[in-house]
Amino acid sequence: MSANQETGSASSLLEVRNLSVEFPMRRELLRVVDDVSFTVQRGEILGIVGESGAGKSMTGSAIIGLIDPPGRIATGEIIFDGESVGQHAEQLRGKRIGMVFQDPLTSLNPLRKVGDQIVETIRTHLAVSASDAHKRMQAAMEEVGLDPTRAKAYPHEFSGGMRQRAVIALALCAEPALIIADEPTTALDVSIQAQVLDLLKRVCKDRGASVMLITHDMGVISETTDRVAVLYQGKLVEIGQTRDIIERPQHPYTEALIACTPTIEGGSFGRDLAQIDRSEGDGAKGEFYVREAQDSQATELVTNTFAANATPFLVAEGLSREFDLSDPWLVRMLSFRRKKILHAVSDVSFQIERGTTYALVGESGSGKSTIARMAVGLLAPSSGTVTIDGVNLNDNELGTDARQALRRRIQMVFQSPYASLNPRWRVGNILSEPLRAFGLAKGFEADRVVELLEQVGLAATDVKRFPHEFSGGQRQRISIARALASEPEFIICDEPTSALDVSVQAQVLNLLKRLQRDLGLTYLFITHDLAVVATMASHIGVLQSGNLVEEGKCEDLFANAQSDYTRMLIDSAPRL
């Protein structure tokens, strides 16, 4: 069944009926959850999927009564195990319904030992003696794959994945019947994400508990859940068996969402993504239509033109970078500590052909951002060189003019849509600054600014506005426009879409590809998402802890990865 309503039966563990959550704001009443109904059966894993603003987190918080004022539940009923919850949500928390939040670092009290926090929760809900609680705590830690001898450690001594396991242990230790997991793996690396999701599935099957998994990632949904509910702007648009929904989506939004999601599979290399065209940021119940994915034969055209020019555009040779994290000398002397050197990048070499996109892939700590900064001249390498079209940016002999001329040809688009634009500057100034810095478009800056805006799909009237008036995707477009202002040949994209919703990501990636075709740009694309690589890049390099473990053409690498690490990355990536 894939209607957008669901009526419960007596055996449902959780039934949510006509739930609405409101936030009274200064000028209006914001309905973040609008008349949502669904059930969770015993022993199943239900996914709640949607983009930002869909209301999925709010739904989870509403169920256990943790909505922060001024938000409130406007209407609706929550029925748990046959009884209406109403005001008694506190009694269910921990004992019958456990919760896992997104950020493992901030979920744990930094000043208390991990084991103590688990014991405390156990003793709150179960009437057991202190030593019994201690044994249960150790059993809980083992169950989630943590070493019980580390119970006396503090949260900051654990890695991100281990912390999330501890959080799961905390959620499970009082033996609840339902776990609500709100984006539990979003802050984790892909490989850790796979492990944590497996853990979640396993412990719930073992105990017969149900899970309500809230996420924005369709791939995670596909691999983990039995059924899924799709939310859009507070409304439930579709609900049903996961495989049914993914293979035969009924609602246009679901269909579009699935089509937008980049994948590694089958012949999608270089294809443009479908994208949802709707006016962003107006918050209305959107009508939208889906622009179909297109085969981009044009990419091949550009590659062929440049193939004749055999000299690669960018050559990185033996790049290395260390960071000295040691304590000051005197302290080291007195406490006999050694120097702490972080080898962020070790002897990396690669080349990028003109007009192509080279993707640099790695998890956190792999050194990809460091390489990006060295490539663009923001950071000097400890050893090795980066040569762009024959010129070494870090050459000390380079005069100011030559250096500035080289800067013009290289630009960068950054990850965070919020931090890449100066919040106090108007868009017009943000875009005209590079023109002034490089002495371009003298006398007609204003026209050029409008031209840039239109090139990225924004309007001339946006010139007077401030960044906070735009959505995340629009801000990235402004960033791209700024990068284009100096008419560069080479753009480094440092995780430009990692902070964006899937549908917005599709728009931005399509834009980047179109610009590459139209302007003959060369890209160095940094990302952790293999699926995005498959869409964007022709060549790929895989980084692990500062070392380049493998590189090659995309199709070759995905079909036939040589190194174990690459294979592990490919396997861990959730797919539809």
Partner 1 sequence: MKRFFASDFFYDFCRSPVTVVSFMVMLLLLLSAVFASFIAPTNPFDPASLNLMNGFTPPMTPNEFTGNTFWLGTDDQGRDLFSAILYGLRVSLFVGFSAVMLAMLIGISLGLIAGYIGGWIDAAIMRIADIQVTFPSILIAMLIFGVTRSLLPPDQRDELAIFVLIISIGLSEWVQFARTVRGATLVEKEKEYVAAAKLMGLGRAQIMRRHILPNVLGPVLVIATITLAIAIIAEATLSFLGVGAPPTQPSLGTLINIGQDYLFSGEWWILLFPALTLLTLALSVNLFGDWLRDTLNPRLK
Partner 2 sequence: MFATVIRRLGQSIVVLALVALIAFLIFRYVGDPVDNLLGQEATVADRIELRERLGLDNPWYEQYTDFVVRALHFDFGVSYRTGLPVSDMIAHRLPATLELAFASAIFAMVLGVVLGIYTAINRQGWLAQVILSTSLIGVSLPTFLIGILLIWIFAVELGWLPSFGRGDTVEIGWWSTGLLTASGLKSLVLPTITLGLYQMTLIMRLVRAEMLEVLRQDYIRFARARGLPDRVVNFGHALKNTLVPVITIAGLQLGLIVAFAIVTETVFQWPGVGLMFINAVYFVDIPVMSAYLLLVGLVFVVINLIVDLSYLVIDPRIRDGINRGNSGG
Q: Is 410 in the site for partner 1 (CB under 8 A)?
A: yes
Q: Token pair for residue 399?
A: 């005069």
Taking CB under 8 A as the binding criterion, the range among 167-175, 301-309, 360-368, 407-415 that sits at the site for partner 1 is 407-415
Q: Is 98 in the site for partner 2 (CB under 8 A)?
A: yes
* Cβ–Cβ < 8 Å for 199, 147: no
CB nearer partner 2, residue 66 or residue 307 = 66
For the range 255-258, what are the long-range contacts, defined as Cβ-Cβ under 8 Å and sequence gap of 24 or more? 255/290, 256/288, 256/290, 256/503, 257/49, 257/51, 257/218, 257/230, 257/502, 257/503, 258/218, 258/576
CB nearer partner 2, residue 128 or residue 293 = 128
Q: Is 179 in the site for partner 2 (CB under 8 A)?
A: no
Q: What does each C-alpha distance from 179 to 166, 174, 194, 204, 536 come to in angstroms?
A: 14, 11, 18, 9, 37
Give the one residue of 35, 41, 126, 154 binding partner 2; rule: CB under 8 A.
Answer: 154
Instruction: For strands 45-49 and 210-215, give the pairing.
Output: parallel
Q: Which of residues 9-48 bind partner 1 (CB under 8 A)?
A: 26
Q: Which of residues 317-376 bind partner 1 (CB under 8 A)?
A: 373, 376
Cβ at position 215, least distance to partner 1 in Å: 26
Size of the site for partner 2 (CB under 8 A): 48
Cβ at position 571, least distance to partner 2 in Å: 20
Alpha-carbon gap, residue 496 to 523, rounded angstroms: 12
Q: Is 437 in the site for partner 1 (CB under 8 A)?
A: yes
The type of residue at 134 is: H
DSSP letter, residue 93: B
Buried b (16+ CB within 10 A) or exposed e, 10-25: eebbbbbbebbbbbee
Sequence-distant (6+) residues with CB within 8 A of 167 are: 100, 101, 104, 107, 108, 184
Residues forming beta bridges with residue 72, ordered by sequence position = 22
Give the one residue of 226, 317, 322, 327 binding partner 2; rule: CB under 8 A.
Answer: 327
Q: Is 94 in the site for partner 2 (CB under 8 A)?
A: yes
Alpha-carbon gap, residue 71 to 30, rounded angstroms: 9
Taking CB under 8 A as the binding criterion, the range among 75-83, 154-162, 242-250, 292-300 that sits at the site for partner 2 is 154-162
Residue 376 contact, options partner 1, partner 2, none, Cβ 5-8 Å cut-off depending on partner type = partner 1
* Cβ–Cβ < 8 Å for 460, 483: no
Residue 472 contact, options partner 2, partner 1, none, Cβ 5-8 Å cut-off depending on partner type = none
* Cβ–Cβ < 8 Å for 39, 8: yes
Q: Token pair for residue 237?
A: 């648009």
Residue 208 contact, options partner 2, partner 1, none, Cβ 5-8 Å cut-off depending on partner type = none
Give the one residue of 45, 58, 167, 441 binding partner 2; rule: CB under 8 A.
Answer: 167
DSSP string of 269-301, one letter each residue = TTPPPPEEE--TT--S----EEEPP---HHHHH
Sequence-distant (6+) residues with CB within 8 A of 77 are: 16, 17, 18, 19, 84, 85
Q: Pattern 457-496, binding to partner 1, x per CB under 8 A? A: ----------------------x--x---x----------
CB nearer partner 2, residue 34 or residue 189 = 189
Q: Pattern 297-326, binding to partner 2, x per CB under 8 A? A: ------------------------------
**How many beta carbons lie within 10 A of that of residue 381, not counting itself?**
22
Residue ranges in contact with partner 2 by CB under 8 A: 64, 66, 90-95, 98-99, 101, 103-112, 120-121, 124-125, 154, 156-157, 159-161, 167, 170-171, 174, 187-189, 192, 327, 330-332, 334-335, 337, 364-365
Residue ranges in contact with partner 1 by CB under 8 A: 26, 373, 376-378, 403-404, 407, 410-412, 414-416, 419-424, 433-434, 437-438, 479, 482, 486
